[in-house]
Amino acid sequence: MACTTILVGKKASYDGSTMIARNDDSSAGSFTPKKWVVVTPDRQPRKYTSVLSHVEIDLPEEPLRYTAVPNAVKGVGIWAAAGVNAANIAMSATETITSNDRVLGADPLVKYIPAELAPDGKEQIGGIGEEDLVVLVLPYIRSAREGVERLGKLLETYGTYEMNGIAFQDQNEIWWLESIGGHHWMARRVPDNCYVIMPNQLGIDRFDFTDAFGARKNFMCAPDLLEFVKKNHLDLAMESSESNFDARAAFGSHSDFDHSYNTPRAWALQRYLNPTDSRWDGPDADFTPVSDNIPWCRVPEKKITVEDVKWVLSNHYQGTPYDPYGKYGDLSHRGQYRPIGINRTSFVACLQLRPYVPAEIAAVEWLAFASNAFNTFVPFYANVNRTPAYLADTTGEVDSNNFYWASRLIGALADGDYSKCIPHIEHYQTAVMSQGHELLNRFDGEIGRTLDKEDRNASAAKQVKTVVTRLEDANEVIASMLQKETQTALANVLHTASCDMKNAFGRSDA
C-alpha cells in the first residue's frame, strides 16, 4: 500500500506525548472500506494463517486486548493496520518502502507460489507481510523495544514477501523498523526531540552497528546484518564506518520513480515543519523535491501538535506550484508530484500516548477515514472493549450512516469543486477537532477525578471494568458529536455540488 508516516518524539510534541501517525492508502484505482474495532483476548487466534501467503504461525497464549483498523470487507485478510494494546503500546503497520536490486538479489523476498505455478508442482509458502503484522505482534508486547525484537525474530524465521517500515511506540520511546530483503531488518530509535517523515521509501540514513551489537540504545538489527553487508558488498561509502554506516545508500533506492512519488513528500513536510532552517525553493535550495539526502529525522522549529499531524498528512503541496488544486504558478507543474492527501486514502490514525494523565486514559486514537484533504480527525479513548457502531459497523455497500462512507462521499463531492467546497470542509474540521479537544478535556477531568477517588478496597477487576465502561460511554458521546457534524458537512457539500449542477444546466430545477 502507498502510505505516508510521521513519527513525533516526546520532546518534539506540544504536550510531551509520543505520537505516531500514518495514512493508509489503497492501491491506484481502488478503495478499501475500513472500520475501527477492538480485538479481545478470546477473539485473538492461537494459530494464525495468512490469506495471501498461506504461512501458518502458532501464537503465544494470553494475548493482550488491542484496537485495530482492519478491512471491513472480508477476502484478502485482516490488515489490522494500527492500534494500541492494553499495556498502552502502539503499533502502525505498515509503510511500504523500497529497496534495490543488490539487496533483493542477495536476500530474495519470500513470495507465495501456488502449486500450479511452482516448478516442482508443490505449493511454496510465502512470508509475512502487511496483512499479518499487527495481529502477530501487537497483542504480545509491553514496550516499543519488545515490538522491534518480536517482529525482528518473525522476519528472521518466516521471511517477508515485501519491503515494509513499521512503527512501535510507548510513552517514552518510538522505534522505527525497516525490513531489508527477505529476512533482514534494522531499527532506529526516534530521538526524543525529533520528528520523522517516511514517504514509501527506505528512510533510515545513518546506522550505528557498534551500538546495535552493543548497548542497543538507539539501534537494533538482525544478528547477521553486518556480515550480510560485507558479504554482498553493500557498503557504498568511500570511507567505511561501522558507527556511521550509510544505510539508505546500502539498502534503499533513488530511482526516477522515487523523485516523482516519494522524495517530494519528505521535502514538502520538512519544508512546513522547518521553514527557515533550510532553503527549500529556488536555484540555491538546500533541498528540492528530488533530493536523495533529505534527513531521516529532524528537530522541528516549533513543537508539533495533533493539528500539525493532520495537516501534513493532508498535504497536497499547498503554497507550491505543484498543488493540483492550485490556481497560481506554472500550470505545467500542477500535479507533477504525488500528493500526500489523495482520494484513495482509506484512513489515517494518530496514536497519542499522553504522560500527564492516569494510565487508564493515556492512550488516544485520533482517526479519520477517506481522503485527508476533506476529512476530519476525531479522538477516541483506546482502553475499551468495544467501539462506537458509527466507526465499527462499516459495510461493503455505500451507507452514509457510518463514518467511512460518509467521509468518502464528502471527499468525492468536494474534490469535484474544491474552491467552493473547501470553506465547508474547513468549518467541519474545526468544529469536530475543537469539540474533540473539549470532550477529551471534560472526560479526562471527570474520569481522572474518579480514578483518584476510586474505592481501593474494590477488586482490581471491578475498577478496570468501571473505567472501561466510562471510556466506552465517553467514546459514544464523541461519536454522536462526530455523526452530527459529518451529516451537516455532507449536506453542505451536496448542496454546493447540486447548485453547480443547476448552474451547469442553466436552470433552477435541474
Q: How far apart are CA 200 and CA 509, in angstroms?
A: 47
Q: How far apart are the first and last CA of the chain?
A: 40
Q: How far apart are CA 42 and CA 260, in angstroms?
A: 46
Assess contact for 148 and 220: CB atoms under 8 A: yes
State which amino acid sits at residue 115.
Answer: A
Q: How far apart are CA 430 and CA 438, in angstroms?
A: 12
Q: Please spell the DSSP secondary structure of 111-129, one letter per residue.
A: --B-GGGSTTSS-B---B-
Q: Please spell the DSSP secondary structure of 411-450, one letter per residue.
A: HHHHHHTHHHHHHHHHHHHHHHHHHHHHHHHHHHHHHHHH
Q: Measuring CA to CA, which residue among 220, 201, 217, 199 is closest to residue 209?
A: 220
Assess contact for 161 and 109: CB atoms under 8 A: yes
Reply yes or no on whether 3 is catalytic: yes
Pairing of strands 47-49, 56-58: antiparallel
Q: Report phi then psi at 127, rounded to 5.
A: -90, -160
Strand partners for 364 = 352, 381
Which residue of the set 3, 221, 297, 350 is catalytic? Answer: 3
Assess contact for 20 and 90: CB atoms under 8 A: yes
Grid-cell match 528512510, residue found: 203
Grid-cell match 504461512, residue found: 55
Task: Locate 337 and state its grid cell.
Answer: 508530484
Active-site residue set: 3
